[in-house]
Amino acid sequence: MSLNYLAKGLSGRAAVNGEVRVPGDKSISHRAIMFGSLADGVTEVSGFLNGEDCLSTQRAFEAMGVEVETLSATALSVHGVGIDGLKQPSAALNLGNSGTSMRLMSGLLAGQSFDSVLTGDASLSNRPMRRVTDPLSTMGAEIGTTESGTAPLHVKGARRLQGISYDSPVASAQVKSSILLAGLYAEGKTVVTEPGLSRDHTERMLQGFGYEVEARPQYAALSGGGRLTAANINVPADISSAAFMLVAASISPGSDLTLHNVGMNPTRTGVVDILRLMGADIQAHNERIEGGEPVADLQVRYSGLKGIHVPEELVPLAIDEFPVLFVAASFAEGDTVVSGAEELRVKESDRIQVMADGLQAMGIDAQPQEDGMIIRGQSQKVPAEAVAIDAQHDHRIAMSFVVASLASQCDVTVQGCETVNTSFPGFFPLMSRLGAELSER
């Protein structure tokens, strides 16, 4: 059933002020379940993102014999079964909308002694999987896909995997992580090199679980045959979720908002770097390391944003945040040009086209390009009546247009908001508390 919200235009007349903590990091929460399951001993996880994507990962490992004890909404105990302790599930593993789960688990399951099947919802079943199944096949894995290279994935067990040196054509943490996880079960050394930076949560967390990993920018390597030892994981707040609050305060005059305990992994801070280039006033306080990950409290104050040409080297470091960055550009002064972001077309939706369609419906001059977008800031020609925008059941699209209502001169009905809980439980009440005028439709 579709969930729709009416967001009143210029609802941000009241500035976005206060102190908040957004939910835990999705990428780290996924990996905490995965690596805790493979470890020897009990892993305690705090700050866990209790969203549908991460719960899909949790249910999948429970189906393979792992006991996960829920201590609170954001705290878990994962009773590891060891590197070779997973059991064959009795049915296909349904991963819902989670591409991270499917791509990482395809590598992990390629090294098991049993067959398995990975399925997902309609959106996940349309996303490209050959980017991981092709390199895995060169390691000796056997993974069947549809003719178009999509799920369901049929993973054959009892395969003898060999380490490879893989020169990835794209900078992708999911591709890199899938190969490294297969490498845990492979003979010899597995090496992944990339053309640019990608998230390094896998390398950091494997090291935190006592597994030896060689890691430096654009390079990661490990040898198979080791073991993981249980560790305590404190999941920081997700910078991808914080991005919505950073933009909300940046485009709402008079705002002064503090976001606590935000993950500041340097492979994830592209959104902060881009907003600062646009003139955003974002200050990092109380910088520290927790669980091997850098964190900080971020204070953001309203500052008139300027359009920029986004440096292409920052694009992979902010790929998930571009929907809301497009919103920031819409209310900045001057043109913003984004290129090198073709990856956006194969996310939960075609995020370039869906965002362009929605911004145009709001009267904003947004021109989609094959690999990005050109947005003429402060160009809004106010429609005569309220605008209905189809978020295509994409959580980041839905949240972005709610943020847009803070500075828009028109009312917006955002259709297809039910998937917001995959990454940001409590988003709508939080936005209401911060000044957005929202009503369920």
What pLDDT does 11 receive? 67
Q: Say how many C-beta atoms besides its own lie within 10 A of residue 184's C-beta.
A: 23
d(CA 353, CA 350): 6
Q: Which helix (H) or strand (E) holds 190?
A: strand 189-193
Query: How do beta strands 17-20 and 256-263 pair?
Result: parallel
What pLDDT does 435 receive? 85
Burial class (CB in 10 A: 0-12, 13-18, 19+), 14: middle
Tokens of 202: 């896998």
Phi (first) and psi of residue 28, to 5 degrees: -70, -35
320 is catalytic: yes
Q: Which segments in the chain show pLDDT lower than 70?
A: 1, 11-14
What pLDDT does 2 receive? 78
Q: Which residues pair with 116 in a beta bridge?
A: 155
d(CA 52, CA 137): 30
What pLDDT does 76 receive? 97
What pLDDT does 10 receive? 83
Which whole-number Å values give the CA distances from 136 to 94, 109, 110, 173, in the listed order?
Answer: 21, 11, 8, 15
- How many degrees, rounded to 5, is the angle at CA 315 between CA 309 and CA 319? 130
Burial class (CB in 10 A: 0-12, 13-18, 19+), 91: exposed
Query: How do beta strands 256-263 and 293-301 pair?
Result: antiparallel
What pLDDT does 13 receive? 66
Tokens of 83: 């590197």
Condensed to tens digits (0 to 9), the pLDDT of residues 17-69 reads 999 999 999 999 999 999 999 999 999 999 999 999 999 999 999 999 999 99
What pLDDT does 12 receive? 53
Query: How do beta strands 293-301 and 67-72 pair?
Result: unpaired
d(CA 244, CA 434): 12
- Report all structural domains of the chain as residue ranges with CATH numbers, in order of start: 5-24+237-440 (3.65.10.10), 26-234 (3.65.10.10)
In contact, 321 and 240? CB cutoff 8 Å: yes
What pTM value is reported for the model?
0.90
Query: How do beta strands 233-234 and 214-216 pair?
Result: unpaired
What pLDDT does 1 receive? 65
Marked catalytic residue, from 200, 297, 320, 390: 320
Condensed to tens digits (0 to 9), the pLDDT of residues 185-232 reads 999 999 999 999 899 999 999 999 999 999 999 999 999 999 999 999
